[in-house]
Structure 1
Amino acid sequence: MSQKGQFSRRTLLGALGAASGALLLDGLLGLRHARADNVDPDTAPLLVMCEFSGGWDTLYSLDPRNHHDFGEPAGGIYTGFDMVTDGPTKKVIEDETGGTGLVKPVGSSVAYGPTMSKLANTHYKDLCVVRGMSMGTLTHEVGRRYFLTGKFPRGLAASGSSLETWWAAASGLLDHHEIPNLVAGGAETYNEGLSPLASGLSVPSYNEMLQVLRPLNASLSLDGKVEQAAAKFHHDDYCLHQQLDARGKQISTHLSAWRSAQTLANGGLWKHFDFKPNPPATSQLAKLYETFGVNPTNPGATLAGQPKGQAALAAQALVNGISQVVLLRLVNVTDAHFDDDWPSNHPARQRAGFDAVSDLITYLKNTLDGNGKPYWDRTTLLCFSEFARTPRINQQGGRDHHLASSCLVAGKGIRGNMAIGATRDTNYDVRPINLDTGAPDDEMGTIVKPSDVHATILTAAGLPYDHISNQDPKLIKAMLKNA
């Protein structure tokens, strides 16, 4: 089931009535599940997935080359760093890297591209780069859905459930979060064969989150007698309930969704996403503004429609216990086939996305959960795109689609300050790797696929990966702290 549309919870509940609205919320939003009484929600593994939509140029970021060695346009690989017109990225190349374009902080084992300077300099100890990952497609829709689910699509149609949906379902903690699976920015989310209660709630941004969560307008609320009757119906235990429940827990599911709908309709969750000006200096919101570099007198200028706004939405959902998993379409890096996109817009948008990721990690590191530990300690971060760009410039002055790609993983159970795999220096193609060491191994190695990355980070978080067993996933042991 894909959820990409927009809707208003207030409209649904007001027009349909709270009872039928709760049932619809149960089916579409996936809010609750049977309670896992033996699980502490303050130890729940958290997941943030950040999509860089459009197919990213990994020479700018996760898989760069030294411009002094790969600066010839006619070569097999051409960095193009000398063509970059985005001011901040150009400054990094010329002033901070001596023209190489390689960002390698003191102590880092990995060199990053110029769009990742803030993230690399701040958090390199946490980052694990997977290079030379085979996407098996040059089609945006196929590559995106392949990475989201870990299964190669059926034609253009996604196969299986998206990673964040599986994560929410497999954790057994749906009853502990009001919106277990939050999806933002237009990202696609899929549920195939899992409980609908794990499905994602899709919102474009924090503004729409406010619309979904704000209390109902009094003019749309139910008559008091109707509310009393509905509450009695959902409170009392009827024989019919037991009979229907025996056929598949439909009543239990509905009653659980009813409670969730009441919480959403009447609770104060919306306040966490009300990014208003000039919050109190000691408030959580002021701390978030400081971390994300937001001008408190005009927060919308930094957050509205920007990667930092999406990352701030994720931060609030996670640290306030509202969501366990968040999938963000963080930024559209542009499908850079032409010279008006590639040297200007593409690096600028990549940089904006990675800067937002850096701020999100910082915020999670500096915010403590109910056990007094940083939220980051139990968070897994995954940044991805549908494929990479070609290493050579096309006749339009841009880059086309390339089968090899990279992804960025960090957080719970993941070994940081390392790069897994590589692409070839001749043509930027995939190289097989030794799964135990992460080093390229052209003779005996394994070609890494999205399913291998999924299986590895699920293992790192202590979760199963049964749903992709038919993909024959391999654990990339080099990525795991405890392998």
Structure 2
Amino acid sequence: MATLTHEVGRRYFITGRPPAGLTARGSSVGTLCAGQLDPDRPVPHLSHLVESYNVDQPAYAAAMPVAAVDHVQYILQENLGLATGVAPNVRGALGAYWQKTRDCGNEPGIGGTELAAIYRDNRRRAREVVTSNLHRQFQFQSPELAAVRAHYGLAAGMLETAYGRAALAAQALKVGLSRVVSVTLANALDTHDNTWANDHSTRLADGFNALARLLADLQATEAPGGGSMLEKTTLVAFSEFQRTPRLNERNGRDHHLGNCALVAGGGLRGGQVIGSSSDSALGPELIDLASGRSDEGGESLFPEHVLTSALVSAGVDASSLRSAPIPALLRG
């Protein structure tokens, strides 16, 4: 990773480019995907607790951030799902007003600018979102979503956890809300003292278990046109860096220059480990990209290798990352 700084490692993997200091460079890879895939979803790019950047992609590709899993059901409703004390006649008049088509027009002047075109497109998309009735697919405590609760173990008070965030990602993809979803499955992992054994490992276990349930959910769901949703989805899981193999003087683990990522889905050759770590401080070894095995004459793996491979497997142009993919990771 060539960094021991949280923000640098995280933004490196989010964009596929080394940051300038702490500042991210380029668009998020999720934004890049949303900009190239068919923009036919009400919310093309959904993000929960993951930074997102849009430097050079269409406006619709920018992530719609949500602060909590439970917020999604309200965001997707025209009245935010909230009771109001506004008199019915006033509410009706306001509704009639907002239903009217208003446009900047395409005549010369501001109505013909790119900004006006973005406004018109965003307004159309917003109308589609709040009239889609998709909010019902995110009311996780409703009887209709009992099977979802059972699969992810969403007992009372469990929605804002790794399992709730995994359920959010799956629902957004399965019901057609979004084409690209970014979520954080494990956080509060920066443990440097003797809380390592109880805190860090437990949070990681929850994150990986939630990820496993997400993958199983997508595998069991039929995709439009046949096959499973997992076969039509590309998934990348990462952290900003790994922890030291040895315990420090506080019986904790510090930041380490190595890292690893997990990828799954259509177009990828799964069931294998690409690369390896050395016997000396568990540092990453050079690998042959074609075979995925250690090779003294090989290359160092960086986030852009992993992300380029994921994009290529999904049929997305990855040339902006200026990196070769990992042939050993790709099918065919």
Aligned mates of 1:405, 1:346 — CA distance in 2: 16
User: CA contact under 8 A between 1:205 and 1:309: conserved in structure 2?
Assistant: no
- Quote how far apart the aligned CAs of 1:293 are: 3.3
> Greater Rg, structure 1 or structure 2?
1
Question: Residue 324 of structure 2 corresponds to which residue in structure 1?
Answer: 474
Question: Residue 350 of structure 1 corresponds to which residue in structure 2?
Answer: 204
1:241 matched to 2:96: no
Question: Residue 151 of structure 1 corresponds to which residue in structure 2?
Answer: 17
1:455 matched to 2:308: yes
Q: Count how many residue pairs are aligned between Structure 1 and Structure 2.
A: 326
Question: Residue 270 of structure 1 corresponds to which residue in structure 2?
Answer: 135
User: CA contact under 8 A between 2:232 and 2:265: conserved in structure 1?
Assistant: yes
- Quote how far apart the aligned CAs of 1:155 are: 0.8
Alignment of 1:163-182 (within 5 A): 163-171=29-37, 173-174=38-39, 176-182=40-46
Indicate how the Cα distance of structure 1 residues 246 and 431 shifts in structure 2: closer, same or farther if over 3 A, else same.
farther
User: CA contact under 8 A between 1:438 and 1:478: conserved in structure 2?
Assistant: yes
- Quote how far apart the aligned CAs of 1:476 are: 0.6
Q: SS of the counterpart of 1:326?
A: strand
- Give the aligned residue type for 1:200: A
Q: SS of the counterpart of 1:364?
A: helix
- Quote how far apart the aligned CAs of 1:223 are: 6.0
Aligned mates of 2:24, 2:125 — CA distance in 1: 29
Indicate how the Cα distance of structure 1 residues 267 and 392 shifts in structure 2: closer, same or farther if over 3 A, else same.
same
1:136 matched to 2:12: no
> 2:117 pairs with 241, 248, 252, which one?
252
User: CA contact under 8 A between 1:312 and 1:360: conserved in structure 2?
Assistant: yes
Deviations 1:434-458 (A, max 9, x none): 010000012x101011111111111
Question: Residue 88 of structure 1 corresponds to which residue in structure 2?
Answer: none
- Quote how far apart the aligned CAs of 1:372 are: 3.2
Aligned mates of 1:437, 1:454 — CA distance in 2: 18
Aligned mates of 2:25, 2:14 — CA distance in 1: 10
1:207 matched to 2:70: yes
- Quote how far apart the aligned CAs of 1:304 are: 2.0
Gaps (5+ residues) in structure 1? 1-134
Question: Residue 300 of structure 1 corresponds to which residue in structure 2?
Answer: 156
Indicate how the Cα distance of structure 1 residues 445 and 245 shifts in structure 2: closer, same or farther if over 3 A, else same.
farther
Aligned mates of 1:229, 1:425 — CA distance in 2: 66
- Quote how far apart the aligned CAs of 1:245 are: 8.1
User: CA contact under 8 A between 1:315 and 1:364: conserved in structure 2?
Assistant: yes
- Quote how far apart the aligned CAs of 1:194 are: 1.6
User: CA contact under 8 A between 2:69 and 2:160: conserved in structure 1?
Assistant: no
1:367 matched to 2:221: yes
User: CA contact under 8 A between 2:59 and 2:118: conserved in structure 1?
Assistant: no
TM-score between the two structures when normalised by the length of structure 1: 0.64
- Quote how far apart the aligned CAs of 1:243 are: 3.0
> 1:420 pairs with 255, 260, 274, which one?
274
- Quote how far apart the aligned CAs of 1:461 are: 0.7
- Quote how far apart the aligned CAs of 1:263 are: 2.7
Aligned mates of 2:98, 2:169 — CA distance in 1: 37
Indicate how the Cα distance of structure 1 residues 300 and 226 shifts in structure 2: closer, same or farther if over 3 A, else same.
closer
Aligned mates of 1:475, 1:463 — CA distance in 2: 12
Q: SS of the counterpart of 1:327?
A: strand
Aligned mates of 1:143, 1:233 — CA distance in 2: 45
Aligned mates of 1:214, 1:151 — CA distance in 2: 37
Q: SS of the counterpart of 2:140?
A: coil
Aligned mates of 2:91, 2:128 — CA distance in 1: 16
Alignment of 1:403-418 (within 5 A): 403-418=257-272
Q: SS of the counterpart of 2:185?
A: strand
- Quote how far apart the aligned CAs of 1:242 are: 4.1
Aligned mates of 1:229, 1:481 — CA distance in 2: 50
Aligned mates of 1:214, 1:467 — CA distance in 2: 37
TM-score between the two structures when normalised by the length of structure 2: 0.91
- Quote how far apart the aligned CAs of 1:232 are: 3.4
User: CA contact under 8 A between 1:339 and 1:397: conserved in structure 2?
Assistant: yes
Q: Please give the root-mean-square deviation of Cα atoms over the aligned residues, in Å.
A: 2.1
- Quote how far apart the aligned CAs of 1:274 are: 0.5
Deviations 1:184-223 (A, max 9, x none): 1x21111112222211111122211123223315656866
- Quote how far apart the aligned CAs of 1:252 are: 3.4
- Quote how far apart the aligned CAs of 1:467 are: 2.2
Deviations 1:156-197 (A, max 9, x none): 0111111111110011x12x111111111x211111122222
- Give the aligned residue type for 1:232: T
Aligned mates of 1:206, 1:177 — CA distance in 2: 19
Q: SS of the counterpart of 2:273?
A: strand
Aligned mates of 1:337, 1:214 — CA distance in 2: 43
User: CA contact under 8 A between 1:167 and 1:463: conserved in structure 2?
Assistant: yes
- Give the aligned residue type for 2:24: A
Question: Residue 187 of structure 1 corresponds to which residue in structure 2?
Answer: 50
User: CA contact under 8 A between 1:433 and 1:447: conserved in structure 2?
Assistant: yes
Residue identity over aligned pairs, in percent, reads 33
> After alignment, is 402-411 or 211-220 more displaced?
211-220
Aligned mates of 2:108, 2:95 — CA distance in 1: 25
Question: Residue 232 of structure 1 corresponds to which residue in structure 2?
Answer: 101
1:339 matched to 2:203: no
